[in-house]
Amino acid sequence: MSVVSTEIREIQREIRKLLVEKNAIMLAHNYQRDEIQEIADIAGDSLELARKAAETDKEVIVFCGVHFMAESAAILSPQKTVLLPRLEAGCPMADMITAEKLRDKREELGPDIPVVTYVNSSAEVKAESDICCTSANAVAVVNSLPNNEVFMTPDMNLAKYVQRYTDKKISYWKGFCPTHHLLKPEMVTEMQIKHPDAKVVAHPECAPDILDLANHICSTSGMYAYAKKYPEGTFIICTESGILYRLRKENSKATFLHVTEDMICPNMKITSIEDVYESILNMKEVVTVSEPIRSRAKLTLEKMLAVPRGN
């Protein structure tokens, strides 16, 4: 458990009070800082947060995560006020494809190859797609399509992961997550030598040579479920550092080793607890998506939400 200062405790209490006053819900991604996850109404993976954003009856959604996540909430719930405490919290992978580039790609692919777009993408890119997916449901989404060939964007590693679990032919855009991409197989094997009984758990955004070494591959929330199966287990965790907070909190007898301390997403960590407080107090920064992009992007997210969750 992290040590939290009295000052942070005070800010956390003020945030919780403001949330009630403003009829707001606080959603936090599993990579957010510990003190943010600790007081969120829901901490979860991209799929859980998208579902919650679509379902909530609160008037305001405070999204502690990165821009595409708040944008998805705004797409699904245009009547609500969606706040992103730090507007510059982006996702470099999402920026690796644009709507224009995807339109050109679609022309090249022709009408029979559907485009499956990772939620880590802009609203404009979603609007040019057939259906969205997250790391938790990517295999299920691809397998739900009637076509024998599918194009995935923007994450090539997610596409290669899906290819392992489907007979369909997957082609892909060559985007990647810089945080997951820095992981090299030697870093994993070095840890395995030191901890031979440990289970390697990896996120599908890791490269194939990392996934080859994994005992289990899943979304961030999938890691919580997997850890529960081995209450006294040792795990080598191959994803962003924020995941460790809840893994350790919920499994006090297990040991969680971060494969490398360098796996930190600067965009996920840019939001501080003070930013969250300022955001709710001043109702900033409001994220909106204009029409007709919003309605087209909404269709792709709703189609995804209709597919049952994978892992």
Residues in touch with ligand 13P (CB under 6 A): 29-30, 45-47, 91, 120, 134-136, 203, 205, 219-220
Residue closer to ligand 13P, measured from CB, 113 or 263: 263
What is the Cβ-side half-sphere exposure of residue 230, based on CA atoms within 13 angstroms?
17
265 binds ligand SF4 (CB under 6 A): yes
Q: Please calculate the CA angle 30-36-38 and round it to the nearest 5 degrees.
A: 80
Alpha-carbon distance of 302 to 305, in angstroms, equals: 5
Distances 298 to 8, 76, 90, 271 between C-alpha atoms, Å: 37, 6, 20, 26
CB of 79 to ligand 13P, least distance (A): 25
CB of 172 to ligand 13P, least distance (A): 16
CB of 100 to ligand 13P, least distance (A): 23
Distances 258 to 2, 67, 92, 154, 266 between C-alpha atoms, Å: 15, 26, 22, 26, 17
Distances 59 to 3, 85, 285 between C-alpha atoms, Å: 33, 16, 15
Alpha-carbon distance of 272 to 212, in angstroms, equals: 35
Which of ligand SF4, ligand 13P, none has residue 219 at its interface (CB below 5 to 8 Å by kind)? Answer: ligand 13P
Identified binder of ligand SF4 from the candidate list 40, 268, 289, 301, rule CB under 6 A: 268
120 binds ligand SF4 (CB under 6 A): yes
Residues in region 175-194 near ligand SF4 by CB under 6 A = 177-179
Can you name the residues that pair with 24 across neighbouring β-strands?
A: 60
Identified binder of ligand SF4 from the candidate list 24, 40, 49, 91, rule CB under 6 A: 91
96 binds ligand SF4 (CB under 6 A): no
Q: Which stretch binds ligand SF4 (CB under 6 A): 54-62, 104-112, 261-269, 296-304?
A: 261-269
Helix (H, G, I), strand (E, B) or coil at 142: helix
CB of 45 to ligand 13P, least distance (A): 3
* Residue 10 CB partners (closer than 8 Å, separation 6+): none
Give me 297's structure tokens. Answer: 């992007």
Which of ligand SF4, ligand 13P, none has residue 128 at its interface (CB below 5 to 8 Å by kind)? Answer: none
156 binds ligand SF4 (CB under 6 A): no
Site of interaction with ligand SF4 (CB under 6 A): 66, 91-93, 120, 177-179, 205, 240, 265, 267-268
